Chain A
Amino acid sequence: MAALDDQQSLGKRETASRAPGVGGGWTASATWAVLLLAASYMTEDATLAETNQRNRSRELVAEKTIVRKVTIAGHPFVLSSNDVVRALRRVDPEPITSHYVVIDARRFPPKQVVSAVTGLDRADFTTHQARRTLIRLGFSAGRRVATPPSRRAHRAQEQGVIESPLALRLRDLSGKWVAIQGDDVIHASNSPHELVGWLSKHGRKADTMFRVPEDELATTGLAPL
């Protein structure tokens, strides 16, 4: 019980320092809410770490070259993970509507990948078939979820406890030009011309575009001297 009391008071101190404007009047239920909130973030962090680890191991597996015999739309193929990576190397990813697979650190719609590798018409197979084929070749797959941030996440964000998912994702794109729509990075390029070219080619409209700042100089307003 003493340890719990210590934890409770620690939670109280930490939260008070993060939200200096919040008045006193702490109750046991408020303290428990803080502890539960912290525990859920730890769980989220752990889940994220596990996902990253899983993705890393999948990438490693893909590097080892996996070869599979598959039948898609009645046509037999022998596909290797290396062939997939090679075939997609010079292909621009199309916009992700829902499902995606990660090939060489880029997200592609599964049907685009399978069509590019097999030459099959996309109408001949389903996203689920394409996704399953690519997962069996060792590539990681995911699904874009467009859910509004929860009230709890919003409140926590206001208190500076966690950062927005978008800011988190942008950290890996330092120095890249990005097109953002809602809370999604819809495309990243090395130049603004490439980025706008991609938007134009795919009939997409961004909410905003900018280069993710790579140093302090890039983030500061620079008045003429």
Chain B
Amino acid sequence: MRFKFRELPDPGSRAVRARPIIDVVVEGLEIAPQACLLDSGATAIRFGSHVAELCGVVLAGAPQTSLAVGGSLVTARMAEVALMIDDGSDSYAWTAPVWFCDPWTPSFGLLGLTGFFDQFLVTIASYEEWIELKPIG
């Protein structure tokens, strides 16, 4: 599956920056796929807790941890969630542990190592601004 980088305005300037962002369909929230940044520096998939509320994931009693994200302390709770990506010709669905964080400052979800990079062979062609994902196994 191949995706083009997403062009977004660069905050604080007139420039536009293309970023490695893909849309992930979260089960229960099919009407609004979540824009997610590919982030090999993140250890797991992280979304804002609003995503859990919107897709009906109950986090009461879920495994919980505190993380320092971007210098702020956030509470993250984990749930197994069905995810799907689609490039217009192919799609791939899988289930992954997702950490729902509160508060959440990033504009996008973050696709990290566990649950995303361990599912795909990922090629990021930054110069040509495309991403290729090959499901593993």
Q: Which residues of A contact B (CB under 8 A)?
A: 163-164, 166-168, 170-171, 174, 179, 191-193, 195-196, 199-200, 204-225
11 more CB-based (< 8 A) A-B contacts, given A213-B9, A223-B42: A163-B7, A164-B16, A170-B8, A170-B9, A174-B11, A211-B107, A211-B108, A212-B9, A219-B10, A219-B19, A222-B105
Q: How large is the interface on B (under 10, 10 to 19, 20 to 34, 35 or more residues)?
A: 35 or more
Report yes or no: B32 in contact with A220, Cβ–Cβ below 8 A: no
- Say yes or no: A208 contacts B31, CB within 8 Å: no
Docked-complex contact B110 and A221, CB < 8 angstroms:
yes
A206 CA / B29 CA spacing, docked (Å): 10
State which of B19, B23, B35, B70 has its C-beta within 8 Å of the C-beta of A222.
Answer: B70
Query: Is B107 a contact of A218 with CB atoms below 8 Å?
Result: yes
The answer to whether residues A224 and B68 also contact, given A205-B31, A215-B12 and a CB cut-off of 8 A, is yes
CB contact between A218 and one of B41, B50, B105 (< 8 Å): that residue: B105
Name B's A-contacting residues (CB within 8 A): 7-12, 16-17, 19, 21, 23, 29-35, 37-39, 41-43, 48, 50-51, 53-54, 67-71, 105-108, 110, 112
A179: nearest residue on chain B (CB-CB)?
Answer: B32
Judging by beta carbons under 8 Å apart, are A210 and B43 in contact? no
Point out the residues of chain B lying under 8 angstroms from A206, CB to CB.
31-33
Give Cα A195 to B29, complex, Å: 12
Q: A167-B16, A216-B12, A223-B42 are in contact. Are A210 and B35 (CB under 8 A)?
A: yes
Interface of A is mostly: mixed
- Can you name 25 A-B pairs with beta carbons within 8 Å? A168-B9, A170-B9, A174-B11, A179-B32, A191-B50, A193-B53, A196-B31, A196-B54, A199-B31, A206-B31, A206-B33, A208-B33, A208-B35, A209-B33, A211-B107, A213-B9, A213-B107, A214-B11, A218-B107, A219-B8, A219-B19, A220-B106, A221-B39, A222-B105, A225-B68
> What residues of A have a CB within 8 angstroms of the CB of B112 in the complex?
223
B31 touches A192 (CB 8 A): no
Question: For the complex, what is the distance from the CA of A209 to the CA of B33, rounded to whole Å?
Answer: 6
Given contacts A219-B107, A224-B69, contact A208 B23 (CB under 8 A): yes
Q: Name the A residues within 8 Å of B41 (CB-CB).
A: 221, 223
Partner among B32, B34, B43, B68 whose Cβ is within 8 Å of the Cβ of A199: B32
Q: Is the CB of A217 within 8 A of B43?
A: no
CB contacts (< 8 Å) of A210 on chain B: these are: 21, 34-35, 107-108
Q: What separation, in Å, do the CA atoms of A176 and B38 have in the docked complex? A: 22
